[in-house]
Amino acid sequence: MSGTHSLDLRERVIAAWQEGEGKSAIARRFMLGYATVRRYIARFEVTGSVCARPHGGGAPR
């Protein structure tokens, strides 16, 4: 598993989606997985934010 993506990238993904670009096209354009794009959009729809969630516990990074 890789680290988190930048806030700027997440904002660009949401902006492209709001402009009507499809999720598959966004994934190809930004070289992300389709599931990642879908997850970012779903989180934005629920919370209105694209910020990464805090670390959930366990061993610190």
For 7-52, what is each residue's pLDDT tens digit?
A: 999 999 999 999 999 999 999 999 999 999 999 999 999 999 988 8
pLDDT for res 13: 97
Band of pLDDT at residue 61, cut at 50, 70 and 90:
low
Band of pLDDT at residue 56, cut at 50, 70 and 90:
confident
pTM for the model: 0.82
Query: Is pLDDT above 60 for 60?
Result: yes
pLDDT for res 1: 44
Contact 28, 22 (CB under 8 A): no
* CB neighbourhood size of 35 (10 A): 10
What does the domain layout of the chain look like in residue ranges?
Answer: 7-47
Q: Does CATH place domain 7-47 in 4.10.780?
A: no
